[in-house]
Structure 1
Amino acid sequence: MSSSSTDHTLAVEVVDSMERMSGRHPGQRRSSARGAAFRATFAPTGAAAALTTAAHLQTRPVPATVRFSNSEGNPHTPDTAPVTRGMATRFHLHDGSDTDLIALTVPRFVAATPREFLELTEALRPDPVTHQPDPARVHAFVGAHPHLAEAVAQQPPVPVSYASAAYWAIHAFVWVDAAGTRQAVRYRWEPEAGRLGLTADEAATRTAHYLTDELHQRLEQGPVEFVLRVQLADPDDPTHDPSTVWPDHRREIIAGRLEITAPADDQDHWDKQAFNPTRVTTGIQLSDDPVLAFRAHAYAESHLRRSHHR
């Protein structure tokens, strides 16, 4: 069987498992099912221009669309749930092309390989009686994969606002400059409003859609801003394992600032779009991270099903 066929088969298995984990919701994403899109402008600082030829990281601002969401495949999961949040950004380049950056409110992925992710989704399948994952199955998974203990245990706070959370792009990417020199990087969006979370008691007082409602209200008072911080790898930093992080003392640059100004005009259109972390542009390449490459196959399978209302 070819590598492409193997990836497709595994993608079908993963999406099937995600449906067993979250339930089947025809026409919906298999993760990040409920979200809202917003208009934005990204202004690069120029600090990345010597390291990559990517058009949106030079000096000229570009329009962007940002979709905030929670990570669940169930579109009825309330905003108060203690789950991961997502920030998907599509940069609209001046040549008419697009490039995507998908980030989450955790600094590491929960698996180092696609097969491990499949095993984890099976371990997280809800018990038919309690409708919660069986702790014994999750414990057994971590026991069999001790290198993932920290990633599986990570629990981001329920944010005060989509505008008050940090978002990590999880994977390593490779920047390429005009001379062909390569530099591995990782991205992080930092909120200008600062990182602010809710306690469990505070979260219990919020409404099911409070994050979207709050961001609409916040935008009536002015733009919401994020800074794109980019961590530069040392030569021996691993780029193949998204379940690990690089040392905090690695050099970082501020590549640009994102200004979110208003809700997107056509929410139905953006609900149908498929953001993809492998949609890169000239000057940016995928790393050797197998989960990053695999996500393109899993996203394609998910998009195929929801576009056919399955």
Structure 2
Amino acid sequence: MTTVGFIGLGIMGGPMAVNLAKAGFDVIGYDVVPPRHAFLTQAGGRFATGIAEVVQKADVVVTMVRDSADVEAVTLGEQGILAHARAGQLYVDMSSIAPRTARDVAEVARPLGVRVLDAPVSGGETGAIEGSLSIMVGGDAEDFQAALPILEVVGATVVHVGPHGAGQTVKAANQLIVAGTIELVAEAIVFLEAYRVDTEAAVRVLAGGLAGNRILDRKAAGMLARSFEPGFRIDLHHKDMGIVTSAAREAGVVIPLGSAVAQLIAALKAQGDGGLDHSALLKLVEQLSGRGSQPA
């Protein structure tokens, strides 16, 4: 039985680790917030006292942490993954970080004989719970094949998209599309409400036509109800849009709409709404339109 070490048991990592344990993998998890271990142990997993124990006991190590700085600390620190990893071990980072960071980690790991994949995900908390995430993987093709049995437990769409860093580049494009789509759905809802249209009926018919998209399917009901419990927080999407805009600048690519939405997300964060779901872009559209929050 393959032992999977899972570091980072938050909103996304927790249910992913649980799904691996339920699928029969021997999962040993670690998080800096100890109460998060309970969900994993209830599903049959184990918990470790630190990163060193995870790496020493695991065949494959997976990380799902907040940002590039966290990945660097967890991976490259004095007590990090690579300090304890052994040659041939497979390390899969499923966080959303800068493509350059993913390439740097792979470069440091190469002379140690540690195989690295960057495998960020899309699908939010619901996808993590359901095991229906979309996973975009960068790295060597043979390492991708080795990780596939694990990735297919937590994701419904798992695709190798290129060399190291490619997974993070595709994830950046994903976050660009998601942010833009949420903003347009938010604008459409406020527009419809201004004309006192039956918005629930409007969303149903829009979802069935060319305007149909996953945001309408998964987020519109909460947006109509002004329920912004976080499936994916504004704070995290703000971080991701920083990755997108920086990578686009580095490549000499112009993203005018993406840059505008990045600023709107930044404004929400600055107002103290960073802990809300990214569908809370609706709040900002209402404010800019001079309209108070509509009744649920």
TM range (shorter): under 0.3
Normalising by structure 1, we get a TM-score of: 0.26
Higher relative contact order (CA closer than 8 Å, sequence separation 6+): 1
Higher strand share: 1
Higher helix share: 2
